[in-house]
Structure formats: C-alpha cells, structure tokens
Amino acid sequence: MIFKEKVVWITGASSGIGEALVYEFNKRNAKIIISARRIDELERVKNNCKNIENIRIIQLDLENHDVIEEKANQAFSFFGKIDYLINNGGISQRSLVSETHLNIDKKIMDVNYFGTIALTKAVLPNMLSRKTGHIIVISSVAGKIGTALRSAYSASKHALHGFFDSLRAEVWKENIFVTIICPGYVKTNVSVNAITADGTAQNSMDENSENGMLPEILAEKIIKAIKNKKEEVNIGGPEMVGIYLKRCMPRIFSSIIKRRKAV
C-alpha cells in the first residue's frame, strides 16, 4: 500500500526494465509519469496499464539537457509533486576504446550521466522543500567493474555512483533517500540498442542478455529495495561474483577479466 497515490516518474519507460517497473507501480496504484523518446512506445505501455488516468506521458531525450528543467515543470503540473524519481533511461556500448571516437564517449556520458543528474537536479528542489522524496538510479554491474567493449558505458555508470553517494550524504537529513540498483544481465533490448564505434546500434541481442533475468523479476526486486530504503543493491546471477572478486581479490579478478572473451 505504500505506493498508493504516490507519484513516480520513470525514465526509459518505453521498454525493458523501465516498462516492467511501470507495470509494478501500476499494480500498486501509484500515479506514474512515464518518459522516453519514443511516444508510440510510451502510449503502448500506458495502454497496457489499468486506471490509465493515473498515467501521464512526457517525451524526454536525456541527451537534450536544455529542456530538462521545462520537462520537470511539466511533470510537477500533472500531480503537483514527485515522490519517487526513477532514473532508468540509458544506452549501452559495444566498441573498443581504440576504435571509438570521443563523440561516442560524450554521447554515452550525456545520456547516462549528465541526463540523469540534470533530471535529478530539476526534481530535487521540490523534494527538499517538501522534506520528502526518494531518488532511485539504475546503475549496473558495469558501475562496479570495467570490462572490454564497455569503456564509456562503464565510466558513465561508475560516475553515477560518485554523484549519488555524494547526494545521499547531503540530503539524508532532509528525509530524502537515494537507492542505487546494480543489475547484472537482464533480458531486454539493451544490447540490441547498444551503440558501436560508428554510433550505430548493434542491432542484435547478446547471448548474456538472451539468458538474463526477466525484467519483471528484476522490477519486483527493485520495488522491494525501494520499499526497504536500501542504499545500494546488486541484483543478478553468477556475473555478480565479479563485484566481490574485484573488491576482495583484485589481482585474481583482473586476470579473469583480461582473459574473458569480449562480448
């Protein structure tokens, strides 16, 4: 019942993890603002919900930072507040450092890092004035470890940890919570949409994604982490061992990751 009548803004709501989160919050009678670039996909997600008067759409390109303040004002105009901001929208990468133009690195940082923090900064003043709010960010196992072909993606997710850990240290006394979720492999289109060295999408699904956790299972676990006001949670399969190996046995971890087939 804790989400009934609460206002949740979810980015990257047009597919995958974000879409699954929309349905979980909808089941729990929350009011939901759904955002992404593709309006037709957001309409589809909305139409799959019950009580569609509780769902509002805001088209949002996280790469276009100049409009984010205005988008936040639009969000506040719907239900007057945001209780939960779920920073989920993002893109992945499949390219070697040596082949990747700096513009691609900048694009990934612009979407995954600067877009996310711009939106957070636009929503934060309202939470601070109300002395309540919860900001959730979907990082990745790549936010904890770096692997081949993911340099900018991994950097963007690592950067989120620095930012949101700092934010938590500033706002906890204002009754604002920050939760960082680090999923492992999830069966979504993340690898299909991942950008390659020339900026085009990979357009095929990796085997690891194909065999990954279902987004609806992850969404349930994310809801549980939010309810329990967890600060950070790792959710995934055997791939999560890498996080603990890197922390506890960094040299062994490094020799494994160097020999791992780049996918």
Ligand X SMILES: NC(=O)c1ccc[n+]([C@@H]2O[C@H](COP(=O)([O-])OP(=O)(O)OC[C@H]3O[C@@H](n4cnc5c(N)ncnc54)[C@H](OP(=O)(O)O)[C@@H]3O)[C@@H](O)[C@H]2O)c1
Question: Which residues are annotated as catalytic?
Answer: 153
Least separation in angstroms between residue 30's CB and ligand X is 18
CB distance 97 to 126 below 8 Å: no
Least separation in angstroms between residue 78's CB and ligand X is 18
Q: Is 242 a binder of ligand X (CB under 6 A)?
A: no
* Closer CB to ligand X, 12 or 133, in the complex: 12
Per-residue contact track with ligand X, 27 to 66, x per CB under 6 A? ---------xxx--x------------------xxxx---
Which residue is it, tokens 């982490």? 225
Q: Give the span between the Cα atoms of 196 and 193, in whole angstroms.
A: 9
CB distance 58 to 38 below 8 Å: no
Q: Give the span between the Cα atoms of 223 and 234, in whole angstroms.
A: 13
Which residue is closest to ligand X by CB?
16
* Closer CB to ligand X, 128 or 148, in the complex: 148
CB distance 144 to 246 below 8 Å: yes
Least separation in angstroms between residue 53's CB and ligand X is 22
Tell me how many residues contact ligand X (CB under 6 A): 33
* Closer CB to ligand X, 44 or 101, in the complex: 44
Indicate left, alpha or beta for 178 from its phi (over 0: left) and psi (-120 to 50: alpha): beta
